[in-house]
Amino acid sequence: MTSYRDLTLQVSELEPALYLFGGVAEDILLEGSLDRPHGDLDVLVRRRELPERVQQVQSIGFTSLAVYYEPLPGRPLVLGGSSSGFTLEFGIVDEDASGFYFVAGASEGGLQRVELSGDLFSSPPVMLDGTAVHIASPLALYQIRDAFMQLGTFGAPRERDITIQARLREHLRQQGNLDALSPSMFPLTHGA
């Protein structure tokens, strides 16, 4: 593997399909290409599937994943690792009767439950170099970035975050989907 494009194609060939989010997914969705340099590849996984998903990426060289962010003890939100100079990160979502969600810390303290769109894992794949690439739904892409921008979990929004959000909003508008763009967020008072 010599680029994040190569890593994206390699990850996209794993079965069952892994779903991308973050910068790589947004570039593929909005640009139809993957030409801009990237610092990592973000993969969205259900917590209950985590052991299987870890085995999948171990098969392509990501043999050691570490916890990058764990807002609740024993329940990491982000795991990551490197192989051959490339970084892969798992963003982990939970699921209950009300749908998909994750828990993240707010910059002013406290934890928030962030509820995501029910279509999270149901968008059709996008073709990249003849390979089907599965991407989280455009609405979920918007909601994930929006939540972290609102919460300030990883600092103040960058100019790129603001630009991508505007482009995703326009994409969603063109698709006729402008209802409830921002995710529902609730202070976590007990459990998750």
Does residue 190 have a pLDDT over 70?
no
Name the percent of the chain lying above pLDDT 70: 97
Per-residue confidence (pLDDT) for residue 155, from 0 to 100: 87
Mean pLDDT, the chain, rounded, equals: 93
Domain ranges for the chain: 4-187
pLDDT (mean) for 180-185:
88
Cα–Cα distance measured from residue 165 to residue 10, given in angstroms and rounded to the nearest whole number? 27
Q: What are the residues facing 149 on neighbouring strands?
A: none
Cα–Cα distance measured from residue 25 to residue 29, given in angstroms and rounded to the nearest whole number? 6
Per-residue confidence (pLDDT) for residue 175, from 0 to 100: 84
Per-residue confidence (pLDDT) for residue 191, from 0 to 100: 58
Q: What is the pLDDT of residues 3-30, one digit of tens each?
A: 999 999 999 999 999 999 999 999 999 9
Residues with Cβ within 8 Å of 102's Cβ and at least 6 positions away in sequence, in order, are 77, 91, 92, 93, 94, 113, 114, 116
And the tokens for 159? 């100019």
Q: Choose which CATH entry (3.30.420.10, 2.20.25.190, 3.60.10.10, 3.30.460.40) describes domain 4-187.
A: 3.30.460.40
Per-residue confidence (pLDDT) for residue 87, from 0 to 100: 97
Residues with Cβ within 8 Å of 170's Cβ and at least 6 positions away in sequence, in order, are none
Cα–Cα distance measured from residue 161 to residue 5, given in angstroms and rounded to the nearest whole number? 21
The CA-atom distances, in angstroms, between 12 and each of 5, 105, 164 are 10, 30, 23
Per-residue confidence (pLDDT) for residue 169, from 0 to 100: 92
pLDDT (mean) for 131-154:
95
pLDDT (mean) for 114-134:
95
Cα–Cα distance measured from residue 106 to residue 148, given in angstroms and rounded to the nearest whole number? 8
Does residue 179 have a pLDDT over 80?
no
